[in-house]
Amino acid sequence: MSLLEVDALSKHFGGVTAVDGCSLSLQLGSITGLIGPNGSGKTTVFNLITGFIARDTGDVRFKGESITGLGPNRIYGLGIGRTFQLARIFPRLTALENMLVPVRRSGVRALFSRGQWHDEKDRAMEMLAAMDISHVAGLLGGSLSYGQRKLLELAAVMMARPQLVLLDEPAGGVNPALVERIGEHILELNRQGVSFLLVEHNMPFVMGLCQQIVVLHRGAVLAEGTPAEIRGNPAVLDAYLGS
Ligand SMILES: Nc1ncnc2c1ncn2[C@@H]1O[C@H](COP(=O)(O)OP(=O)(O)OP(=O)(O)O)[C@@H](O)[C@H]1O
Ligand SMILES: [Mg+2]
């Protein structure tokens, strides 16, 4: 079953066509990679799917229903979480407080107060523990290392138990040992049923985690396939070398 369908999405900024008729489909339970040279439109596709910016044309469907035109909080509440290319952490809030922001902001807090889930602080501590960063719960966001911020952001987005998470360069700028740990956390969450769309320039990381890879070039899908198929595709190499 397809969890997310992106259908002929386009977006331009002034004279720049950032996304140009992009279509892709994510299978339920999958980890799908979205790769492409700098400026090929990956982050813009994320912003369009998650409602951070409005598309010019095209449609996004989640579990068969159009979510086009909905705002970011509604979309988060429906079960699509995201992280940012540069982790968005509030430097003057503690790590634990940072965890509670997306819940309070998006209105998914109602799910806690209805007693559907246990207390939000317990849930936050549980997710910090799952990411092996319980020890930073009381530290200010601004004092965390780059890798810890990435893990905190991943923990925070899991607060509302999203079914799909869009990760924008989760390994970018992170030291190799921590990159491996981040990969393990993604796989563990995937085993628990979370699907992922993953943007990343670290090719061994993407190839190791994803079953399916979509290559974006100038805002459109250039190729799609298994890691082996993408690795052997000369058009993909040309796109990277040409940009
Ligand atoms: N808010 C904006 N205003 C103007 N142009 C933008 C805006 N956002 C993106 N662009 C342009 O759209 C194109 C696609 O950018 P985008 O950030 O989506 O690429 P990307 O694939 O994520 O690149 P990278 O790998 O470097 O993160 C680029 O030419 C970029 O300069
Ligand atoms: Mg980007």
Rg of the chain taking only CA atoms, in angstroms: 18
Tens-digit pLDDT string for the chain (243 aa): 799 999 999 999 999 999 999 999 999 999 999 999 999 999 999 999 999 999 999 999 999 999 999 999 899 989 999 999 888 899 999 999 999 887 776 665 555 555 555 578 888 999 999 999 999 999 999 999 989 999 999 999 998 889 999 999 999 888 898 999 999 999 999 999 999 999 999 999 999 999 999 999 999 999 999 999 999 999 998 888 775
Indicate the number of domains in the chain: 1
Centre of ligand 2 to C-alpha 234, Å, is: 23
- Is residue 68, in this structure, part of any structural domain at all? yes
Helices (H) and strands (E) in the chain, counts: 10, 10
| Other CB atoms within 10 Å distance of the CB of residue 217 | 21
- Is residue 237, in this structure, part of any structural domain at all? yes
- Is residue 226, in this structure, part of any structural domain at all? yes
Q: What are phi and psi of 239, to 5 degrees?
A: -60, -40
| Other CB atoms within 10 Å distance of the CB of residue 88 | 14
- Is residue 133, in this structure, part of any structural domain at all? no
Tell me which residue range forms the domain holding 49: 2-88+161-242
- DSSP string spanning 189-221? HHHTT-EEEEE-S-HHHHHHH-SEEEEEETTEE
CATH code of the domain covering residue 28? 3.40.50.300
* Rounded-to-integer distance, Cα 217 and Cα 226, Å: 17
- Probe residue for ligand 1, chosen from 10, 20, 42, 243 as the CB with the greatest number of ligand atoms within 8 Å: 42
- Is residue 32, in this structure, part of any structural domain at all? yes
- Probe residue for ligand 1, chosen from 9, 10, 11, 16 as the CB with the greatest number of ligand atoms within 8 Å: 16
Centre of ligand 2 to C-alpha 103, Å, is: 25
Q: Angle of helix 95-106 relative to helix 146-157, nearest 10 degrees?
A: 40
User: Using a 6 Å cutoff on CB, does residue 44 contact ligand 1?
Assistant: yes
